[in-house]
């Protein structure tokens, strides 16, 4: 019995549609979120992540509806992030059918939000999303905001340590340098965060080849998140899992029993 590594497709949702760009810009339409969630479930996704990048209140309401519809059809864990500012926002998402929420900017602005959410719903619902890039800080990595365009003025490792003390259940580490490039995960960043964190670590940003997934696991990731390579059919989830399985990594292959 071994815990499997998790493959997590991420769907960036705005106004009810999945979109994807490079380095968070040049967004193109990639499909219907509920249909895509269902397809990825069939293909063996271990979890799903919706990132709500809507700018408007109407867009957020649409996303809640997407979460509801998805949770009715897809029986694997669903994480929703984007625009979460308060404990009530979390409550609404959980009631709509989300199992976890990821928070980012709001926690940087007010770190106590982490403890407030963890106290009310438990740490296991809370994923801290860290958008980091290489920079001249103590650890060599800094936190960014606005999709990697602005420095948050915070050292990435110091932030992970602080957030862990406040009670996050998992860390989603996004490399802003690698995002959308398909040139590989930032392995140095994964290693650095793994070394100081005792909660599960999801690596994100830069997945291109099958070997990239294995390399991120070797660097210490527990789960691997990717978007564009799945949306645009460069790799199928089943192919990545097959490759990892043949390479000796524990993966969940459905229907093998």
Partner 1 sequence: MIAILDYGSGNLRSALRAFERAGKDVVLTSDYEVALEAEGLVVPGVGAFGACMQGLKSVRGDQLVRERLAKARPTIGICVGMQILFAHGVEHGDHQGVGIWPATVEKLEAKVLPHMGWNTVDAATGSSLFKGIEGESFYFVHSYGVSDLGKEQLSNSSTLASWTDYDQRFLAAIEDGAFSATQFHPEKSGDAGLQLIKNWVSTL
- Interface positions, 72-111, toward partner 1 (CB under 8 A): 72, 75-77, 94-99
Could you say whether residue 223 binds partner 1 (CB under 8 A)? yes
The alpha carbon of residue 197 and the mean position of all alpha carbons in its chain are separated, in whole angstroms, by 17
Candidate residues 57, 112, 136, 198; the one interacting with partner 1 per rule CB under 8 A: 198
Distance CA 193, CA 15 (A): 33
| Closest separation in Å from C-beta 150 to partner 1 | 31
Q: Does 254 bind partner 1 (CB under 8 A)?
A: yes
Active site (annotated) includes residue 222: no
Minimum Å distance from CB 136 to partner 1? 30
How many Å from the N-terminal Cα to the C-terminal Cα in the chain?
13
131 included as an active-site residue: yes
- Residue 17 has φ and ψ, to the nearest 5°, of -125, 150
Burial of 73 (0-12, 13-18, 19+ CB in 10 A): exposed
Token pair 């802003």 is found at: 176
Q: Are 11 and 227 in contact (CB under 8 A)?
A: yes
Q: Binding of partner 1 at residue 121 (CB under 8 A)?
A: yes
Q: Can residue 219 be called a binding residue for partner 1 (CB under 8 A)?
A: no
Chain contacts with partner 1 (rule: CB under 8 A): 1-6, 41, 46, 68, 71-72, 75-77, 94-99, 121-125, 169-170, 198-201, 222-223, 252, 254-257
Catalytically active residues are 12, 131
């Amino acid at each position: 019995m071994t815990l499997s590594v998790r493959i997590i497709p991420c769907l960036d949702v705005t106004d009810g549609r999945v979109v994807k760009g490079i380095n968070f810009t040049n967004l193109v339409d990639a499909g219907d979120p509920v249909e895509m969630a269902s397809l990825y479930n069939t293909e063996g996704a271990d979890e799903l992540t919706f990132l709500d990048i809507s700018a408007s209140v109407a867009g957020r309401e649409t996303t809640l509806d997407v979460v509801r519809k998805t949770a009715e059809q897809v029986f694997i864990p669903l994480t929703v992030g984007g625009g979460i500012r308060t404990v009530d926002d979390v409550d609404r998402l959980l009631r709509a059918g989300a199992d976890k929420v990821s928070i980012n900017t709001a926690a940087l602005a007010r770190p106590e939000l982490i403890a407030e959410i963890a106290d009310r719903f438990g740490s296991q619902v809370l994923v801290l999303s860290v958008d980091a890039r290489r920079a001249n800080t103590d650890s060599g990595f800094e936190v960014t905001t606005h999709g990697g365009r602005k420095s948050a003025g915070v050292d990435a490792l110091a932030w992970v340590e602080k957030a862990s003390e406040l009670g996050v259940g998992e860390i989603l580490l996004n490399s802003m340098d690698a995002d959308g490039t398909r040139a590989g995960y930032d392995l140095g960043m994964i290693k650095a965060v793994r070394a100081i964190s005792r909660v599960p670590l999801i690596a994100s940003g830069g997945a291109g080849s099958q070997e990239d997934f294995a390399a991120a696991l070797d660097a210490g990731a527990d789960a691997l998140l990717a978007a564009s390579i799945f949306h645009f059919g460069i790799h199928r989830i089943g192919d990545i899992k097959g490759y990892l399985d043949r390479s000796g990594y524990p993966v969940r292959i459905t229907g093998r029993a």
